[in-house]
Structure 1
């Protein structure tokens, strides 16, 4: 095993065991290291101790020549900074050559969200007389009611839902845990599905599962499966806007803030570690902006 492979393996174990990083995070780091190692092989650099600013500058040039966006480049640099910080701590290198590499911060785009008229079409598209329709309705009501990530939705177990007090137990990124309340529409959709459709789907399975959302063979639904379901619902609703699970999370946060929820509460519900991650949702819709103006400005109307 060469130095690059051994160092990468040790770093992945560090992320998994010490940092408790999610599988998605570990995959991103692995991809970023792999692209950097490929570059080093091309440049004839076989020792990480020989990585200096000149090598890094050539690496950045190679990334931009591939037409990678600033966001992708920034992520790779961030990954490599963390990697070399680990190597330095482990005495594999004498310093971190990425320490002083900075990139201009790109302006964060405002997250896309759905208007209520668009949501209503999605809420009305499922056939609630069959198990699949009941499941799909429960999924979309849950995603919008709670703002949870699709991975959190996919991992949900029956025991995580407490109908007596209307809350869900969610295990999020880095195994961070939180409780999220849900409203009447999600409650009805979930009860209808769990008491009827889910039982019928479960009967098709060879072994029982406690996963809330099941596929048409009675097994636990995957995150990809949820995305496929949502795409089909959008198609059936004849929506012209692009809808993806995270857009429902954006919509949840935007609607909560537009209706008066405070930023800290929304941060807690979303499971954001930093308030800055939640502040991107403080934009308001043009309709609400106009409504507030028309109702508040003394000379807005006759």
Structure 2
């Protein structure tokens, strides 16, 4: 995303506005941050600029740890939201130090509120199997929906990565589905992920037999793999609706989202003995710490099974 887009919000008008703009350009051009991430950073830094103005601080080199602590204390919202906004401030000050504009990072040691240890929602293996096997029709939309759900679970991809998937990303040299596909993740980062036999068969059936039927309904062609009933690129919201409808038909009452299948894929891989670094690469996580939460999911699951099954675990 170019920070010079005419559609972006106006640059901060305070004395630190130019530094904010340079930081956003750095995030966009050198770090490859996504458009939505840049918008969030801009919003966070604008509120920070206003806070510093109320304290009479116009020189970023004079910002103290107390200033940042007071700013963090005044933030409202969920602990996760506060932590994200504080992270923006830390990154900004770290950039200022690394670029030689200031000599210290006053935000480095400022801690936000503790986040509750929420675990990602994951379906059991039998639930995923029931969901996928329930989409067994041979009609156009059933072939599409089976391929869509197999791909979400089989690759652990984000819903945005699946809807943006192009035919060139999934076409092998023999015009059949390959054993690996290309995904474009956050920050336009490309990664190659394997495609299991179930997902590969479902994808091939859809692309050969169903997609051409849908494509003929479109006003103009699109390279997107997954198409809606009118032939246009399938939207993220449509994927949500498809998943919920298919889950309901399969008798699954849990509230599901496409991310549930991503979480399920990762959890089942870890439980099956996959190396955490491999899972990190598969999911496109920037940090392995993000991936490590799935090890806790697996440990908790093992603990539950142990206490319910071992004759001397309780009592």
Q: CA deviation at 1:190?
A: 0.9
The secondary structure found in structure 2 opposite 1:168 is strand
Q: CA deviation at 1:251?
A: 0.6
The secondary structure found in structure 1 opposite 2:193 is strand
User: RMSD of the TM alignment (CA)?
Assistant: 3.2
Q: 1:260 aligns with which of 252, 273, 277?
A: 273
The secondary structure found in structure 2 opposite 1:284 is helix
Q: CA deviation at 1:79?
A: 0.7
Quote the residue 1:181 is aligned against: 194
Q: CA deviation at 1:80?
A: 0.7
Quote the residue 2:144 is aligned against: 135
Map 1:210-289 → 2, pairs under 5 A: 210-282=223-295, 283-284=297-298
Cα separation, 2, equivalents of 1:256 and 1:166:
18
The secondary structure found in structure 1 opposite 2:183 is strand
Q: CA deviation at 1:189?
A: 1.6
Q: 2:209 aligns with which of 196, 200, 219?
A: 196
- Greater shift in the superposed pair: 219-228 or 101-110: 101-110
Q: CA deviation at 1:281?
A: 1.4
Q: CA deviation at 1:212?
A: 0.8
Cα separation, 2, equivalents of 1:215 and 1:193:
13
The secondary structure found in structure 1 opposite 2:181 is strand
Q: CA deviation at 1:200?
A: 1.5
Q: CA deviation at 1:194?
A: 0.9
Q: CA deviation at 1:105?
A: 5.4
Asked if 1:113 corresponds to 2:125, the answer is: no
Q: 1:70 aligns with which of 67, 79, 96?
A: 79
The secondary structure found in structure 2 opposite 1:99 is coil
- Greater shift in the superposed pair: 35-44 or 6-15: 35-44
Residue ranges of structure 2 left out of the alignment (5+ in a row):
1-12
Cα separation, 2, equivalents of 1:254 and 1:225:
25
Asked if 1:59 corresponds to 2:68, the answer is: no
Count of aligned pairs: 296
Q: 1:34 aligns with which of 35, 40, 46?
A: 46
| Residues 69 and 110 in structure 2, CA contact (< 8 A), matched pair in contact too | no
Quote the residue 2:22 is aligned against: 10
Q: 1:209 aligns with which of 222, 226, 250?
A: 222
Cα separation, 2, equivalents of 1:164 and 1:129:
19
Cα separation, 1, equivalents of 2:301 and 2:17:
54
Q: TM-score, normalised by structure 2?
A: 0.79
Q: TM-score, normalised by structure 1?
A: 0.82
Cα separation, 2, equivalents of 1:222 and 1:165:
24
- Greater shift in the superposed pair: 226-235 or 19-28: 226-235
- Greater shift in the superposed pair: 224-233 or 18-27: 224-233
Quote the residue 1:102 is aligned against: 111
The secondary structure found in structure 2 opposite 1:281 is helix
- Greater shift in the superposed pair: 117-126 or 250-259: 117-126
Quote the residue 2:92 is aligned against: 83
| Residues 82 and 113 in structure 2, CA contact (< 8 A), matched pair in contact too | no
Quote the residue 2:5 is aligned against: none
From the superposition, tell whether residues 298 and 240 of structure 1 become closer, same or farther in structure 2 (CA, over 3 Å).
closer
The secondary structure found in structure 2 opposite 1:280 is helix
Quote the residue 2:4 is aligned against: none
Quote the residue 2:33 is aligned against: 21
